[in-house]
């Protein structure tokens, strides 16, 4: 798979939005690959991790998030499901799962319904080890400051806003992957 070709297809212009996407995604991919290298016993699919991490936020282009130069019409919370649809259309259903399951530490159906989110009514939580690892690595980098890696404490605070269950899952991933 040529992930850069897919990015260029959806982001043909060189602009701030594309730059943010690429810098953030590269940082997430590098972090995920670094963590995977420390766990050969997990037998993780390294090429898939790089590809999926580089594409996990491809759906931001259709969202309304002016702070990261996204001027679409959909709420930002939808970027994962938008990206998943894009990747399914490209013929990459496994990569699509990473897109739709990486928000917070994953969003449960109960959370989606309780918060009346404009998302499919099903669990959107990472299942495979690769999905979990990419989701975990993503928590260390924001799109507003993609050059800075967050501390474990700051990453935990960012997921805690999704509830205690998310904080617990993040702590579990710290034990698994760090």
Q: Kindly tell me the burial class for residue 159, based on how many C-beta atoms sit within 10 Å of its own C-beta (0-12, 13-18, 19 or more).
A: buried
Digit-coded pLDDT (tens) for 45-66: 999 999 999 999 999 999 999 9
Q: What percent of the chain has pLDDT over 70?
A: 100
In whole angstroms, what is the distance from residue 3 CA to residue 13 CA?
16
Q: What is the CATH number of domain 3-177?
A: 1.10.3210
User: Structural domain boundaries of the chain?
Assistant: 3-177
In whole angstroms, what is the distance from residue 99 CA to residue 176 CA?
21
pLDDT of residue 84: 98
Global pTM value: 0.96
Digit-coded pLDDT (tens) for 24-47: 999 999 999 999 999 999 999 999
pLDDT of residue 52: 98
**Is the pLDDT at 18 greater than 90, yes or no?**
yes
The CA angle 86-87-89, to the nearest 5 degrees, is 70
Which uninterrupted H or E stretch holds 64? strand 64-65
Digit-coded pLDDT (tens) for 123-161: 999 999 999 999 999 999 999 998 899 999 999 999 998
């Amino acid at each position: 798979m040529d992930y850069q070709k897919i990015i260029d297809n959806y982001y043909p212009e060189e602009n701030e939005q594309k730059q943010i996407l690429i810098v953030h995604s590269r940082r997430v991919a590098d972090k995920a690959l670094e963590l995977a290298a420390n766990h050969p016993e997990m037998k993780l699919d390294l090429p898939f991790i790089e590809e999926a991490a580089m594409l996990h936020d491809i759906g931001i282009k259709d969202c309304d998030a002016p702070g990261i130069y996204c001027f679409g019409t959909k709420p930002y919370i939808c970027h994962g499901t938008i990206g998943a649809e894009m990747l399914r259309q490209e013929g990459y259903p496994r990569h699509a799962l990473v897109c739709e399951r990486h928000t917070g530490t994953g969003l449960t159906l109960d959370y989606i319904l309780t918060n009346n989110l404009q998302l499919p009514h099903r669990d959107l939580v990472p299942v495979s080890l690769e999905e979990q690892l990419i989701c975990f690595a993503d928590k260390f980098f924001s799109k507003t400051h993609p050059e800075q890696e967050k501390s474990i404490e700051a990453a935990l605070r960012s997921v805690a806003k999704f509830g205690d269950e998310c904080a617990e899952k993040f702590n579990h991933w710290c034990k698994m992957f760090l």
